Chains A and B, each alone.
Chain A
Amino acid sequence: MRAKPSFEPGALIAEGAEGERTAFAHGAAAAHGTPARIPAGWHRFRFPQSLYRYAALLATLAFIAFAIDRLNIDLERLPGVLGRIAVTLGQRYFPPNIEHVTHFDYLHSVLETMEMSYLATVLGIALAIPLAWLASFNQTPSPRIGYTLARLFIMACRSVHEMIWTILLVAVLGFGMLPGTLALMLFCIGFAGKLFTEAIEAIRPGPVEAIRATGGNRAQVFVFAVLPQVRVAWTGISIYTWDVVFRAATVVGFFGAGGMGWYLRESVQRIASHDVAAILLSIIIVVVAAELFSAWLRRHVAAAIA
Chain B
Amino acid sequence: MKGRAVDIRAAAIAAGRRRGRALRLLAYLAIFGAVLWSVQVIMIADTDWARLAASSAGKTLKSFLEFDYRLLPELVDPTIDTALMATLATLAGLLLALPVAWLGAANISPLGRSSYVVGRFLMTVSRSVHEIVWGLIFVSAVGLGALAGVLAMGVRSVGFISKIIAEAIEDVQPGPIEAIRAVGGTRLQVLFYGILPQIVPVVLGTMIFEWDINIRRSTIMGLVGAGGLGLVFFRQMAMLNYGGVATVILAVLCLIILGEIVSYYARKAVI
Contact = CB atoms under 8 A, between A and B. Distances in A.
Chain B residues touching A, majority SS: helix
Interface residues of B, number: 68
Interface of B: 31, 34-35, 37-39, 41-43, 46-48, 51-52, 55, 57, 60-61, 64, 80-81, 84-85, 87-88, 91, 124-125, 128-130, 132-133, 136-138, 140-143, 145-147, 150-151, 179-180, 182-183, 185, 193, 197, 216-217, 219-220, 223, 227, 233, 237, 242, 245, 249, 252-253, 256-257, 260
B43 to A, nearest CB: 7
Contacts, number: 157
11 contacts: A71-B85, A71-B146, A73-B88, A78-B147, A118-B35, A122-B35, A161-B220, A163-B223, A168-B64, A251-B130, A251-B132
A48 interface: no
Nearest 9 A/B pairs, CB to CB: A119-B38, A71-B146, A287-B128, A159-B256, A10-B183, A67-B84, A115-B38, A251-B130, A177-B46
A167 B249 CA distance: 12
Q: Main SS of the interface on chain A?
A: helix
A164 B219 contact: yes
A85 interface: yes
Contact of B140 (A9, A68, A88, A283): A88
B253 A13 contact: no
Nearest to B41: A115
A71 B89 CA distance: 12
Contact of B147 (A73, A159, A177, A287): A73
Contacts of A255: 223
B242 A171 contact: yes
Interface string A271-292: 0000000001001100110010
A74 interface: yes
A159 B47 contact: no
A81 B42 contact: no
Nearest to A250: B130
A51 interface: no
Given A44-B193, A78-B147, A164-B249, A172 B223 contact: no
Interface string A250-281: 11001100100000100010000000000010
Nearest to B59: A172
B223 A280 contact: no
A171 B245 CA distance: 11
Given A118-B38, A159-B216, A268-B136, 9 more contacts: A9-B179, A67-B88, A71-B146, A71-B227, A85-B137, A156-B253, A163-B223, A168-B245, A178-B46
